[in-house]
Structure 1
Amino acid sequence: MTASPDLEQLAEIELQEEEEEDEEQQRSVPDAPPAPPDPSHPFYDVAQHGIIQVSGDDNYGRKLIVFSSCRLPPSHQLNHRRLLEYLKFTLDQYVEMDYILVYFHHGLRSSNKPSVKWLREAYGEFDRKYKKNLKTLYVVHPTSFIRMLWNIFRPVLSHKFGKKLMYVNYLAELREHLNYEQLFIPADVLRHDEKLRATQKGGASPSVKTPPPRPPLPTQQFGVSLQYIREKNKGAVIPPVMSQTVTYLKQKGLRTEGIFRRSAQVQIIKDVQKLYNLGKPVDFELYRNVHVPAVILKTFLRDLPEPVLTFRVYNQVQEMLGVGSSLRVTRCKQIVEGLPEHNFIVLKYLMSFLHTVSQESIINKMSASNLACVFGVNLVWPRHGSISLSALTPINIFTELLVEHFHTVFGSRCPPAQVTP
C-alpha cells in the first residue's frame, strides 16, 4: 500500500489544482457563521466556527447533520482532534435513531484540510453504533480529491458503508431527498453551486426545471395548512393523519423500544402519503411495521406550510434559555396559550399522546427529553432559513417541558373533550 507521506503529497497536489481552477471563488468573502454557541459550551473552541450543524429531518423523518468544509479555519487555528471529539459529541445525541450526513466539500483547501492520517483515525473511531443507523452520506460537489480519497479508503470501508455514499453534483438534486428549505447551506456553497450551473452548458446558466405549482386536491393531507384540512374534512379539528396514526400507535407502539427513532422504507412512506392525499383509506396493519405510522406522523408535521407552533412563536422559544429554570414551565404555558385556538387544540392532542409515550419510557426508552429531540424541530422553525445547531437547545428544552409538564401547561385552557387522545 502507498506510504502515508505519498498520500499526503498527492492530496496536496490535487487540492492545489482544484484551488487554481477556482481562484475567483477562493477570493470570495465567506459568509458569517451562524450565531455562536454559549461560551460555556464544552466544545466552544470548535462549535464557534459553525462547521457542524443539525438541520431538522429529511423527508422520511431521519435527522440531518451537516458538515461544511468551507467553515474549517486554517489548520493551525483548529485542533483536529477536538474537531473529531465534537463531531462524536454531536452524533452521540442522534446515533440511536436513523440519521443522515450531508458533507459540503467545497471550501476544503490545502490550508485547512485534515491529514489523511487523521481521516483514517477518525474512521477507525466511528464504531458500529455510529455506522449502523447512518442511512445515507451525501457528498455535495465532489471533486477529484474526494474520488482519490474514496480509492484510498476502499480497502478498509465495509461494503454496507460504501452503499450509503451518494455523490450530489448540484444542490438541486438534494430537493428529491431532503427538506431543502430547512437545510443549512453556507453562502459560499450556494455561490459555488451557481457557478457550476452557469458553466454546465458552455457558460449558459441552465434553467432549473420546476413543475408549476398546482392547486392541492380537496383530499390533500400533506403539504397543506391545518385550516385547509379542517375545511375539507367537515370541520374535523384533528387532521385525519394525526388521529389515525396516534390511535394506532397508542394501541400498538407504546411499548416499542425506540419508537420515533427509526425510519421506514422510503417507498412505503411515499405510498401511504399518496393514499392519504387521494382520500383513500390507510390500514397500518398491512405494513406490519409500527415505525410506518410513526414516520408518517412526523412527516405530516414537518410538511405543514406553517408549523403547529406557528412562525410567531419561534423567537419566543429561542428566548427560553434566558428564563430561569423555575419559571420555564410558566413561560411555556404563556406561549402555548397565546396560540390560535386550532393550533392549541392540535398541539394539545399531540402532546397528550407524547406524554403517554413518555410514561412508558422504561420500556420504550423514549423519555420526554428523547421525544423532544425527535419532535422539537417538527413543531417550530423560523419563517426563513434553517435551524442552527445552537438554536436546537432552546427548541428541545421547550418541547421537553411541553411533554413532561403536559397537565400543567395545557391544564386551564380546555379544548373540546372529544379531541383528547
Structure 2
Amino acid sequence: MSEELSLEQEKYIDELKLFKIKGRDKRGGKIVRIIGKYFPATTLSVDVLNKYLEKRVFPKLEERRFAIVYIHTDVCKSENFPGISALRSVYDAIPISVKQNLDTVYFVHPDLQSKIFLATFGRFMFAGGLYEKLKYVSRLDYLWDQIRRNEMEIPEFVRDHDEDLEYRPMMDYGLESDHARVYGEPTVDSSVATYSMRCIS
C-alpha cells in the first residue's frame, strides 16, 4: 500500500526548495529547477515524493513545453541520491501529458560515474525518449546559452563549485550529449576521453 502525503511532509518538501518552477528558457518554455543536494534520500520515500509531484508540480506543467535543470553539484550517494530504482519509479509516475511537454533535461555538473552509467543504461531505463532529451552542462556559462540567466536562482555552493572548475584544466567544457540527435543543434563529442575527471582527481 502506498504511503500518503501528509501536510507536514508537503511543508517539509516545500521548505527544502528541492523543486522550483520559475523562469523561462530562451524559447519561452518554463523551467523546473531541481537541486540534487537538497534531496533527503534517507528520509523521503518514493511514494511521498510521487504524491508531492502529482499534487504540487505536475499540474503546472501540463499546458505547455518546459525544460528541467537538474543540478548535480555535491550529490553524495549515501546522503542525497535516491537510487536508480527510485528515479525509475518517479519517471514512470510522470503523466503522459507532462512527458509530452518535456523538451530538454539539462544535467549540470555531472560526474564521471553519472555520465558513464547513463551512457550505458540510460536508453534502457528511460523509455519514451527521455534519454535523447538529456544534455550535460559542465559549466554554468554554457547553461546561460539556453536559459535566461536572471530568471533562475542558483545556490551559492553551485556558483562556488563552478568557479573552482576554472582552475581544473582536465574538465570538459560546454553542452554535451551522449547521442547524435540534440534538436538540430551541433553536438560535442562525449567520448570517455573527454569525460570529467573531477570525481577521480
Aligned to 1:106: 73
Task: State the distance in 2 between where 1:112 and 1:70 align.
Answer: 6
Tell me, yes or no, if the aligned pair for 2:50 and 2:93 is still in contact at 8 Å: no
Q: Is the 8 A contact 1:95 1:134 kept in 2?
A: no
Could you tell me which residue of structure 1 aligns to residue 42 of structure 2?
Answer: 76
1:184 counterpart (121, 137, 153) = 153
Give the structure with higher Rg (CA).
Answer: 1
Q: What is the aligned residue count?
A: 165
Match in the other structure for 1:116: 84
Supply the AA of the counterpart residue of 1:190: R
How far apart, CA to CA, are the structure 2 residues paired with 1:59 and 1:122? Answer: 27
User: Are the aligned partners of 1:53 and 1:184 in contact in 2 as well (CA < 8 Å)?
Assistant: no
Inter-partner Cα distance in structure 1 for 2:16 and 2:74: 14
Aligned to 1:85: 51
One-letter identity of the residue aligned with 2:105: L
Change (3 A) 1:85 1:266: farther
The answer for the alignment partner of 2:25 in structure 1 is: 58
Q: Is 2:32–2:66's contact at 8 Å kept on the other side of the alignment?
A: yes
Amino acid at match of 1:86: Y
How far residue 168 of structure 1 moved from its aligned partner, in angstroms, is: 0.5
CA contact (8 A) 2:70 2:105 kept: yes
Distance in 1, Cα, partners of 2:141 & 2:64: 27
CA contact (8 A) 1:64 1:99 kept: yes
Change (3 A) 1:182 1:266: farther
Call closer, same or farther: CA 1:61–1:155 in 2, change over 3 Å.
same
Q: Distance in 2 between matches of 1:78 and 1:41?
A: 12
More helix by share: 1
Residue type at the aligned position of 2:107: V
> In the alignment, what sits opposite 1:46?
13
CA pair 106-128 structure 1, distance change in 2 beyond 3 A:
same
- Structure 1 position 128 matched with structure 2 position 88: no
| Contact preservation (8 Å) 2:122, 2:131 | no
Measure, in 2, the Cα distance between the counterparts of 1:80 and 1:45.
Answer: 15
Look up the match of 1:164.
133
Supply the AA of the counterpart residue of 1:49.
L
Contact 2:109/2:137 (<8 A) preserved: yes
For 2:165 and 2:100, how far apart are their aligned partners in 1? 34
Question: By how many angstroms is 1:121 displaced?
Answer: 1.2
> Secondary structure of 1:92's partner?
helix
Task: Provide structure 2 residue ranges, at least 5 long, that are not aligned to the other structure.
Answer: 1-6, 172-182, 186-201
Alignment map for 1:339-418 (pairs within 5 Å)? none
Query: CA deviation digits over 1:22-80, x for unaligned, max 9?
Result: xxxxxxxxxxxxxxxxxx7881121111111112211221001100012223x333334
The residue number in structure 1 matching 2:174 is none
- In 2 relative to 1, CA 117–129 (structure 1 residues): closer, same or farther, beyond 3 Å? same
Of 111, 129, 147, the residue aligned with 1:143 is: 111
- From the superposition, tell whether residues 157 and 77 of structure 1 become closer, same or farther in structure 2 (CA, over 3 Å): closer
Question: Partners of 2:37 and 2:9 in 1: how far apart?
Answer: 23
2:103 aligned counterpart, secondary structure: strand
- Cα offset, 1:181, TM superposition: 1.5
Cα drift, residue 84 of structure 1 = 2.9
**What are the ranges of 5 or more consecutive residues in structure 1 without an aligned counterpart?**
1-39, 203-264, 268-421
CA contact (8 A) 2:137 2:143 kept: yes
Report % sequence identity: 25
Q: How does 1:218-229 map to 2 (within 5 A)?
A: none
TM-score (norm 2): 0.72
Q: Which has the higher contact order (CA 8 A, sep 6+)?
A: 2
1:199 is aligned to 168
Please state which structure has a larger fraction of its residues in strand.
2
Q: Is the 8 A contact 1:63 1:100 kept in 2?
A: yes
**What is aligned with 2:190?**
none
Contact 2:46-2:89 at 8 Å conserved across structures: no
RMSD (Å) for aligned C-alpha atoms: 2.6
Q: CA separation in 2, counterparts of 1:180 and 1:80? A: 32
Structure 1 stretches (4+) deviating beyond 4 angstroms? Answer: none
